[in-house]
Amino acid sequence: MVISTRVYAEHPNLALVHTIRTCEDAQIGVVSDAGTDPQHDVHVFWIEAPDFEKVERALAEDHTVADFKPIVEKGNRRTYQIEYTDEAALITPAVNRMGGIVRETESHTKGWNLRLEFRDHESLYQLHEYAQDKDIRLDMLDVRQRHEADDGADLGLTDAQAEALICAHVHGFYDEPREISLEELAEILGISQTAV
C-alpha cells in the first residue's frame, strides 16, 4: 500500500521561508534529481522570478541561508546551490526517517507545498506529531491510498522506452520552454534521434 499526500508547511524557520515571503512574485522549487555536496550540505533549488536582484538580496538576508551561488540561468529561471544555516528547520529529513519519500517541493504563499509518499498511515501520523512538536503548521491538502498493483507502472513500455521517457522528463524535454533538445537527449541516452 502507498499513502500519497500533499501538505502545506509553514514556519518562520523553515528553509528559505524569509525569501519566499520577501519575494511574493517568485516561485521556488527543489531540484529533486540533483545530488547534494556531502561535505557542505548544499541543496539545489530553481527560482523563477522577474527580479533576481531582489531574490539575491532576500537570500543574503535569509537567516536560514548560509551561502548561495547561481549555477544555471535560462530565461526567468535560475538554479541555485544553497547551503543552510543551523537555524534552518527542515521537514525532509523527518519524512525520510519515517520511511517516506518527498516527490515534489514548491513554494506557496508563506511556506512550502510538498507531495509525499508513505508506506502506511502510521508514518503520516508520525509526521503530524513531528510538526506539532516543532510548532510547524502542517495542513493536509490531499490524502490518497493505493495498492502496489494499482500504481500504473505497467503501461506496456519496454525498459528502454521507460528510460527514455524518464530521462526526457528529468532533463526538461517536456518543460515549456524546453530545457534540452532531442539531439542532446539522444546523446545522453547514447542512441540516435530517431530512436529517441
Residue 43 Rama label (left phi>0; alpha psi -120 to 50; beta): beta
Q: Per the confidence metrics, is the pTM higher than 0.75?
A: no
Least confident segment among 81-85, 138-142, 183-187: 183-187
Of 43-52, 78-87, 104-113, 147-156, minimum mean pLDDT range:
147-156
pLDDT(27) > 60: yes
Flag whether pLDDT at 191 surpasses 90: no
Of 191 and 50, more confident? 50
All three cell numbers of 130, joined, read 513531528
Most confident among 78-82, 123-127, 159-163 (mean pLDDT): 78-82
Q: Which residue type sits at 113? A: N
Q: Residue 50 region, left (φ>0) first, then alpha (ψ -120 to 50), else beta? A: alpha
Phi/psi at 195 (nearest 5 deg)? -65, -40
Name the grid cell of 100: 517516506
Burial 121-159 (b: 16+ CB within 10 A, else e): eebbebbeebbeeeebebeeeeeeeeeeeeeeeeeeeee
Cell numbers given for 39 = 561535505
- pLDDT score of 194: 84
Query: How far from chain centre, in Å, is Cα 10?
Result: 16
Q: What is the mean pLDDT of residues 124-146?
A: 92
Determine the pLDDT at residue 150: 47
Q: What is the mean pLDDT of residues 56-68?
A: 97
